[in-house]
Chain A
Amino acid sequence: MTEQRLKMDRRAFLKTSAAVAAFTIVPRHVLGGEGETPPSESLGGALIGCGGRGGGTFGELGKNVRQLAMCDVRFVDKADNKLYYTDFRRVLERKDIDVVAIATPPHWHALISIAAMEAGKDVLCEKPMTRFIAEGRAVVDAERRYNRIFQVGTFGRYGAIKSDRSRLTHKIMRSGLLKNCQGVHIAKGGLKVAMWSGMVKAPPQPVPANLDWDMYCGPSPLRPYHPHRHGGTHRGYWDYEGGGLADMGQHHFDPIQWIYGKDDTSPVAIEAYAPPAHPEAGAMWGWVELTYADGLTFVMDSGEWGEPYSRKKDRDVNLEDLAEEDRKKVQETPDPEPFPTFPEAVKTRRKPGGHAEAAHRCATLLHLANIAIRIGRKLRYDPVKEQFIGDEEANRLAYQPMRAPWHL
């Protein structure tokens, strides 16, 4: 993204174009010739959280989006509140911003997504969608209340829907004809447990001059500064994320959740095998088993601590699991419609793949797993009320208070 392009907001763009048009040949990008976007279809975009995945996430907004603002808590030394910001609230006040890409650490994902939708913007947010369960429901509510487009930037389900086998499994599961599901999906490895753990020994250090540390901490407790708490390694702290499980889990389980038709529900029983968890820093765990009400089981097996998972074996769901008369019904069911991409969703107002409810349910899988690891006992969960049954400590991790002034 060039500096020149960044500096031009939509009004300035139109004004300049009009002035130029009065005296010269109207340029093609104004009229919108082949391969060009006319200004009427051009959208103003903002990127909030400019490190790591930021540029890539912004690119997913679509070719017709012009970047008008960049916001990051590390911009203290260059914030001009025109192009560079440290406070996302000032970005969202702008009326020329239509779409927002969010690539902050996850403890800000829900709050900024909700605030953006409250301000009338459509949102593409990085994974994992949230830091705890209540945040996800609040995002779903905001999406519904304001009829906005919201998508989490993990795209595995776009590939899954193209697979004949995945579509068949999806149709079996969504048919409601399979009463006692014996499917087991085991995700082995790839959850970067040691890589994205937190430091338990992290003596305070001076806050860098270009960093707004209070804003960085935001809804989480204001801790003494340590560089490991931000800049990618934030993943290892419960204050900001949920370790490699949360960071990679939405990639692994978003397509799996769709394939097995679980975009609108959650597991009812969760059990983890792990050493006692640290209250602030994510650390080692062995495996987590999550079971849905129909018997479907998802397993996360880290392969990084303790004995590997051995209770069940991977098992697909098959047509043969159904009574013969039901197989035909499933085979005759039309295939699901392809998911709109984010730009298509913005244009058509149809929900994209990874919309709020689906993404929330996927993030919930990760939170349930992490809470089971943190609490260290078998948990039962009500997927309708979205609460643990008879476990006060677990519910407190699902519904966490926020540091004022931030609230859901």
Chain B
Amino acid sequence: MEPREELLKRLVAEMPDPDERGMYCHVVVKDEGPDGKPRTETKPIDKDKIEKAVAELQKRGREAVVGLVGMLVEPLEGDDVQPIKAKYALHVLGLCVSKMTGDDARRDYALALASQLGAERSKGARKYIIQELQAFGRKEVVATLGKLLTDADLCDAAAMALVAIRDGAVEPLRTALGHAKGACRLAVVQALGALADAGSAEALQKALGDTDREVRIAAGWGLANIGAGDATGALTKAADACEGWERIQMTNACLLLSERLVAQGKKDKAKVIYAHLRDSRKDPSEAYVREAAEKALAAN
């Protein structure tokens, strides 16, 4: 029986080599011609060869995933193409398991990947794993991803993956909101807004007073996305008080909140916001906001 490590290497070697431009456009074959002289040929990427090798990898389950992760070396330097091939194989394996009937193979793949998010792996490898989980992970990996929300190098990627996964993602984000700092706090606030988590409305309302402009804007957008009717006063007040880019964004959040309220059947609350924007945006440079509010009032 072929040793495990050798088998993995052999299957990874079946993935295409990057061509002369460093791309996966064709396969460059260098061999000897019938005349004995060296020759270089280009052939199309061999779909069947790739899929056959990945099917073999899939049969090895967790062992293959862990082995492939072990081959991810970042940053990619020198002539060694094994990390490039392993990266590709890992993704094609994800595509393969996500196609299968039932969810067990995909779940096992995601859990095996998540188990490799420990500090022993490089940041580059961990970013790649998170990216794969963004594509193929589900509820089973949200707790693991949540632990990365305070890591300055990984929190953006983790927050994006959680937003993509959605199911079960709110809990770890709410937990992280209490202690995430700087860029991680921004990523968490934005993710809660993107997930329209009504349970975070109070925390987002507090974040309207944050010292970081981007956090304030993300909080305003989040409240709007949630359709947080109780935040109407706080949001219009915040929008009135700021200038420039922040005012543009907060004013838009007011209009978005109104649309969400209309969709919830709370037209009266929406009209309060529209009327406020109509009456408060007097400067000619904000005539378009006034007109937008008037149009919405007429329609509702």
Contact = CB atoms under 8 A, between A and B. Distances in A.
Interface of A: 89-90, 92-93, 95, 115, 118-120, 145-148, 193-194, 197-204, 221-222, 224, 228, 236, 274-279, 281, 283-284, 305-306, 375-377, 392-393, 396, 399-405, 407
Contacts of B18: 199-201
B248 A405 contact: no
B245 A89 contact: yes
A276 B92 contact: yes
A92 B248 contact: yes
Given A194-B25, A400-B164, A402-B160, A275 B50 contact: yes
Interface stretch (B114-122, B127-135, B201-209): B127-135
Secondary structure at the B interface, as helix, strand, loop or mixed, is helix
A404 B25 contact: no
Contacts of A224: 75
A276 B48 CA distance: 10
Given A120-B288, A147-B288, A201-B76, A401 B164 contact: yes
Given A118-B248, A145-B255, A284-B25, 18 more contacts: A90-B245, A95-B285, A119-B248, A147-B288, A147-B295, A148-B288, A197-B25, A199-B21, A201-B18, A201-B84, A221-B127, A222-B156, A377-B99, A401-B160, A401-B164, A404-B191, A407-B193, A407-B194
Interface in B170-196: 183, 186-187, 189-191, 193-194
Nearest to A118: B252
B141 interface: no
Given A145-B255, A284-B45, A396-B135, A407 B244 contact: no
B22 A201 contact: yes
Interface string B69-92: 000000111000100100110011
B136 to A, nearest CB: 7
B44 A401 contact: no
A194 B26 CA distance: 9
Complex A-B, nearest 6 residue pairs according to Cβ-Cβ distance, in ascending order? A401-B163, A201-B22, A120-B288, A283-B24, A405-B214, A199-B22
A384 B163 CA distance: 23
A404 B187 contact: yes
Nearest to A226: B22
A283 B245 CA distance: 38
A255 B81 CA distance: 43
A284 B131 CA distance: 22
B156 A403 contact: yes
A93 B248 contact: yes
Nearest to A221: B157
A396 B134 contact: yes
A200 B24 contact: yes
B144 interface: no
Secondary structure at the A interface, as helix, strand, loop or mixed, is loop
B289 interface: yes
B261 interface: no
B218 A404 contact: yes
Nearest to A194: B25
23 contacts: A115-B248, A118-B248, A145-B255, A146-B292, A194-B26, A197-B21, A197-B23, A199-B22, A200-B24, A200-B88, A204-B75, A224-B75, A274-B47, A275-B45, A276-B54, A279-B131, A283-B45, A376-B95, A401-B160, A401-B164, A404-B189, A404-B218, A407-B193
Contacts of A199: 18, 21-23
Interface in B109-163: 127, 131-132, 134-136, 138, 156-157, 159-161, 163
A201 B77 CA distance: 9
Contacts of B134: 396, 401
A402 B194 CA distance: 9
Nearest to B285: A95
Interface residues of B, number: 68
B63 interface: no
Contacts of B289: 120, 146
A365 B194 CA distance: 25
B138 to A, nearest CB: 8
B80 to A, nearest CB: 10
A278 B88 contact: yes
Contact of B135 (A203, A274, A279): A279
Interface string B247-275: 01101100100010000000000000000
Nearest to B91: A279
B240 interface: no
Interface string B44-60: 11110011001000000
A281 B84 CA distance: 12
Interface string B197-235: 000000000000000001001100100000000000000
A85 to B, nearest CB: 12
Contacts of A120: 285-289
B77 A203 contact: yes
A161 B244 CA distance: 42
Nearest to A119: B248
B135 to A, nearest CB: 6
A375 to B, nearest CB: 7
A404 B183 contact: yes
A146 B251 CA distance: 12
Contacts of A283: 23-25, 45
Contacts of A200: 18, 22-24, 84, 87-88
Contacts of B132: 279
B45 A305 contact: yes
Of listed A90, A118, A236, A402, residue having the most chain B CB within 10 A: A118
Nearest to A399: B164
B289 to A, nearest CB: 7
Interface in B1-58: 18, 21-26, 44-47, 50-51, 54
A376 B24 contact: no
A305 B44 contact: yes
Contacts of B46: 275
A225 to B, nearest CB: 11
Interface string B96-115: 00110000000000000000
Of listed A92, A147, A284, residue having the most chain B CB within 10 A: A284
Given A283-B23, A404-B214, A407-B190, A376 B99 contact: yes
